[in-house]
Structures are given as C-alpha cells and as structure tokens.
Amino acid sequence: NKQVIFKNYVVGSPKESDMELTTSKITLKVPEDCNGILLKNLYLSCDPYMRIRMTKHDRPTYVQSFIPGTPIMGYGVSKVLDSRHPNFKVGDFVWGMTGWEEYSLISSPQLFFKIEHTDVPLSYYTGILGMPGMTAYAGFYEIGSPKKGDCVYVSAASGAVGQLVGQLAKLTGCYVVGSAGSKEKVELLKSRFRFDEAFNYKEEADLDAALKRYFPEGIDIYFENVGGKMLDAVLINMKLHGRIPVCGMISQYNLQQPEGVHNLVNLIIKRIRMEGFIVADYYHLYPKYLELILPHIKEGKVSYVEDVAEGIENAPSALIGIYSGRNVGKQLVVVARD
Ligand code: NDP
C-alpha cells in the first residue's frame, strides 16, 4: 500500500520534502470487529485548507492538524472493496475524507457520500460535484444572495471553486469579472467560463485602479478567495449593501504574521454584509445542489477544468503547486482509474 506520509509541522510555504512516499502492507478485508469499509482510492483532491492542517495550532481551529508520521488525509473518490457497514456495499463509489494511500480502511464512514450518478466523470466528485462545488454553491447563493444584474467579482477565479462561482453568477444573470495569476488563466475565464471580463492581478500595480476599471459603479458581491491586499482594494470598491461571502484567504495561509486589512470601515459606511462560512455546515443542501448542477453539466451549460497529476508519487508536488498558482483549474491526483 503506497502512502504519502506527513513528516512534520510546516512553517512558511510547504515543500515536497514535508511529505514522504512509503509502502506498507495492508489486508484488503475489513476486520471482523470493525463496522467500516475498505476503500481503493481512485482520485485524491488537493485543497488549499490542507495547509492549515500542516500547522501545529495553539488555539482550536476548524480543522485538526495532521499527525506527523501518518498519511495525509483529504477528500477523495474511492471504490468500496469490502464493507461491514450497512450503508455501503462492495462496488459502490463514494467520496469523502480518505487517506493519501492506495487503500484505506475507514472505520467510521458516516461522512462519506455514496456516488449515485456515474454518467459524469468520477473525478468531478473531487471538484464540481464534491466539496469545492458545494462551496461555490453555498457561498454564492446562501451568503451572496445574488440577483439578476448584480456586479460580481471573484478572486482565484480559475480555481476549483472560482470557476464555478463565475458560471453560477452568469446563469443568474449577473455581470461577472474574475482575476487570476496568469495570461492562460485569464483567457480561460473569458473563453471557457464566459466571465464578462478577467484580469491578471499580478500585472496590476494598483488593484484599486484595476477594480475601478471593471466596476466603475462598484461591486455588489465579492466572492473572497484570497484575502490580503485584494480584500483591501475590494473594500473601497463595494457598493452600498454589498455582500462578501468569505470563502478563503489563500494569500495568508503560508504567512506566520497575517497581513493587516486597512479598509474595514467601509463595512459600516456601505452597510456591507461580510460573512465567513465553512462548506461542511451546508452539506444538507447537497441533494438540492446536485439537482441544479447535474443537468447543467450534461447539457454543457457549465464546464469544469481539471489539472490532473498522474500517480500517487506526484501528489506532494501537486499539493504544494496550488500555493503558487501552478494549477490550472481543479488540482487532483489520479491514483487509479477503476
Ligand atoms: P484553487 O483551485 O483556486 O487553487 C488555489 C489558487 O489560489 C491558485 O491556483 C492560485 O491561483 C491562487 N493563489 C495561490 N496563492 C495565492 C496568493 N498568495 N495570492 C493570491 N492568489 C493565490 O483553490 P480552491 O478553488 O479549491 O480554493 C479557493 C479558496 O476557497 C481558497 O482560499 C480555499 O481555502 C477556499 N475554500 C474554502 C472553503 C470553505 O469551506 N470556506 C472550502 C473550499 C475552499 P492564481 O494563479 O489565480 O494566483
């Protein structure tokens, strides 16, 4: 059983050497005294929050730190090889929190979702049909409260969450602008995801001026993925009664001292509602979300771009790549295809 082991707590940017590939023996059966499932892992998801699990935290946070010497854990798509749990049977496909290894014994599989729709790529359950998809849906609709004609801005817009937020906003009849960190990503936003406008934030010396160029009358909804300087520039460009679903702040995750935000007074002046959320609180909406998104995918009204790394050996490199923007679209790792 090839495994990616978390070596030790990380300070600053994560490196490949913070993880190690090892091989161990595993019996491909659920032990008799266990109510769990034995999984063959097919696709592993690389997600920004995993950096937070690589830090040893003094104060409680919303995810637990990884344990040095044990496999990295993350969302994945897997096939059930053996089961002693009433909700799962051999041959089922599932998605949920699994180990970065070829096979995982999950003793409490309550938090796994059974995959009912297999006429779409299974890898989509690491992205648009999994946790990032639900994140875009919950953040945009439940917190963003969008309406037709709203001016929407999305940062990290070509990523797993952002590309979908933009497309949901277009389907709602909004004007949508996205930013991303390369020319290729900006092209993708405009041509593939049909954003109205897009720009490379790395080429903008003055983010405030860039936002004024695209939103001369201001922003109704800012879908926050990056934090830091971008958030500061956005705050002065929000409209009265604007909404900011705070999804993530990836620009801050590797910093020991987070950057200060200077323009928060705009929350008062403009009566802005800024609200953080965690997708796990919204999983009860998953069936409703699937009902909305599956037809859009099948009819080609929503498209989804994945960045696929081949082989579990390449998982550490794929994971660290998302913190420097090397991924184009949803970053995932193929361990096996069936
Ligand atoms: P992405 O697929 O978008 O990958 C991360 C991207 O972030 C990179 O490709 C890069 O794109 C951008 N990035 C990396 N470092 C920086 C930086 N220093 N400054 C600005 N941009 C940077 O990730 P996801 O779509 O999965 O996640 C997007 C955000 O959503 C993250 O903040 C994540 O933590 C959050 N999230 C929150 C959840 C919740 O429950 N609240 C659930 C899931 C995700 P670029 O080239 O454009 O710089």
pLDDT (tens digit per residue) in 174-213? 999 999 999 999 999 999 999 999 999 999 999 999 999 9
Burial (CB count <10 Å: 0-12, 13-18, 19+), residue 310:
exposed
To test the ligand 1 pocket, which listed residue (44, 163, 200, 225) has its Cβ within 8 A of the most ligand atoms? 225
Predicted pLDDT of residue 283: 97
Predicted pLDDT of residue 24: 94
CA 162 – ligand 1 centroid, Å: 8
**Ligand 1 neighbourhood includes 283 CB (under 6 angstroms):** no
pLDDT (tens digit per residue) in 129-175? 999 999 999 999 999 999 999 999 999 999 999 999 999 999 999 99
The CATH classification number of 2-127+304-334 equals 3.90.180.10
Locate tokens 């707590």: which residue?
9
CA 159 – ligand 1 centroid, Å: 6
Nearest C-alpha to atom 10 of ligand 1 is from which residue? 325
Q: Is the pTM of this model over 0.95?
A: yes
**Ligand 1 neighbourhood includes 185 CB (under 6 angstroms):** yes
The ranges of the chain annotated as CATH 3.90.180.10 are 2-127+304-334
Query: Which regions of the chain are under pLDDT 50?
Result: none
Strand, helix or coil for residue 246? strand
| 131-280: CATH topology | Rossmann fold (3.40.50)
DSSP letter at 208?
H
The ranges of the chain annotated as CATH 3.40.50.720 are 131-280
Q: How many CA atoms lie within 13 A of 257 on its CB side?
A: 1
- Among residues 162, 180, 28, the alpha carbon closest in space to that of 90 is found at 28
Predicted pLDDT of residue 62: 87
Calpha distance 263→29 (Å, rounded) = 56
Round the average pLDDT of the chain to a whole number and report it: 97
